[in-house]
Chains A and B, each alone.
Chain A
């Protein structure tokens, strides 16, 4: 496709705050170019805060955050953020939403239209170009958002529980779609989720984020291979993550931070 490569992201002893006390402090992690790095952890541990920091929406309070050895000081089209829901501009049709990052990059109108249409077809939405977000289901809206995120050709994709608001069946379809689409892009992915199984299916590595930073880092055996589901290797990785979360076999959402 193109010669662009994924960004290497390096977070070194970082503190991030929403105005008051830091939500995240002393956080150190390294994301390799082109990998899918999954962050799991209970609510309130600063997973979303970390992504907003990487996206450049939140200034770093302490420590350093670098993308390919360049300090992150603000948002950049190289680091795209995909949100859980309702991030499409509701007055733009599906196609015009996908065109948006290309319009910002001043891609000529004719070219961006063609590319938006091909992206929508890639995510299974051909024929839906002229629909407004309100006329699409939650799953379709996330497909449009995925197309919009990728259409900007970012070198890193920061995904904030992108399938968290979807029902189980739609979520499974979206995970398979994401795996398929990521095969053709060199972009680095940081994927935040509540769902350990989702993380194990999508990630090369799964990090467990707790109050004291990254507590456990698990290398996923055979990443993105649906056939490995339930094998002893995966079950061991799953157990390790759940133990790090401090609650084997319980609902992750109820675990205190």
Chain B
């Protein structure tokens, strides 16, 4: 009986595969590699030939000198200690900012009372650059370490807060209505609709927050650190060790890129349901 009344189901929307074809992908990777290699070659030529045309390259270390210094530091345990120190600071600050930013964003978007209580505070504090809070951090926290984490936290908090607030406000009401008419309560709506639904927007904030965190952790270390990549880079500058300064910068670049990529990757994993992502097209 059941089967006979069913018309054939319409053909499902085809599963869309990522657009990049293998040959195309190989070509694009080649272009990316060539871009980096060209920049390095240009740098080598400018510095080795001591080019001075208004901008002076005669005192800038060559990539080979930098690579040499890099190789030396890779064998130095202190280098890894600095990296670990910076990573602990940034990850602590970022994790706290993630929790607080998402919680505050949801609260502000869902409750008029909390919005009126918190929003004016946030809007006044938000324009202050986190790095300008160094004096406040020194006054507030008994230890330097906590001050640096605080600055990293403040830097990441606001992008996460703002993106969460917007994402929660933009949620279609039909999902919440559906869960409520199934008997779902406040916590079910929060955990089952609001958080997963807002996640794509929140991820944008996490991505931005991670970038700003690096800027602030390095700056804070330069101003008041005893360890860390930022401190080490500034220290190298004060003792006129330019190759070490550049190694510090390269290190910051690689760490920043790796952490941002980790956030992106984690984000893509948890938002695999998004239709737009399925269309592929790597950037």
| A, B bound | yes
Residues on A facing B (Cβ under 8 Å): 52, 55-57, 75-77, 79-81, 83, 86-87, 89-92, 100-101, 104-105, 122, 124-125, 128, 131-132, 134-137, 139-140, 143, 152, 158, 169-170, 172-173, 176-177, 179-180
* Residue numbers in B under 8 Å from A180 (CB-CB): 1-2, 5
**Contacts A134-B273, A176-B7; A56 near B182 (Cβ below 8 A):** no
- Near A by CB (< 8 A), chain B positions 139-195 give 172, 174-175, 177-184, 188, 192-193
Contact A89 B196 (CB under 8 A): yes
Q: How far is the CB of A106 from chain B (nearest CB, A)?
A: 10
**17 additional contacts (CB under 8 A) given A83-B174, A89-B175, A180-B5:** A52-B177, A55-B177, A55-B181, A57-B177, A87-B175, A87-B178, A89-B178, A89-B192, A91-B273, A101-B183, A134-B273, A136-B12, A137-B11, A137-B12, A139-B9, A177-B6, A179-B5
Chain B CB within 10 Å, residue with most, of A122, A179, A180 = A180
B13 at the interface (CB under 8 A from A): yes
Question: In the complex, are the beta carbons of B182 and A152 less than 8 A apart?
Answer: yes
Q: How far is the CB of A138 from chain B (nearest CB, A)?
A: 8
Q: Which of B15-37 contact A (CB under 8 A)?
A: 15
Known: A81-B178, A83-B178, A86-B172. A128 touches B12 (CB 8 A): yes
B281 at interface, CB cutoff 8 A: no
**Given known contacts A89-B196, A169-B7, is B13 in contact with A105 (CB within 8 Å)?**
no
Whether B9 pairs with A124 at a CB distance below 8 angstroms is yes
**B2 to A105, Cβ gap below 8 A?**
no
9 pairs of residues in contact across A and B, judged by CB atoms under 8 Å: A77-B182, A83-B178, A86-B172, A135-B15, A136-B12, A137-B10, A152-B182, A172-B7, A173-B6
Please give, as numbers and ranges, the residues of chain A lying within 8 Å of B275 by CB-CB distance. Answer: 90, 134
Asked if B56 CB lies within 8 Å of chain A CBs, one says: no
In the complex the two chains form, what is the Cα distance from A59 to B55 in whole Å?
71
Q: In this assembly, does B268 line the interface, its C-beta being within 8 Å of a C-beta of chain A?
A: no
Q: Judge whether B59 is part of the interface by a CB distance below 8 angstroms.
A: no
Contacts of B180 in A (CB 8 A): 57, 75
* Cβ A79 vs Cβ B181 within 8 A: yes
- Taking A57-B181, A91-B196, A104-B188 as contacts, is the C-beta distance between A139 and B278 under 8 angstroms? no
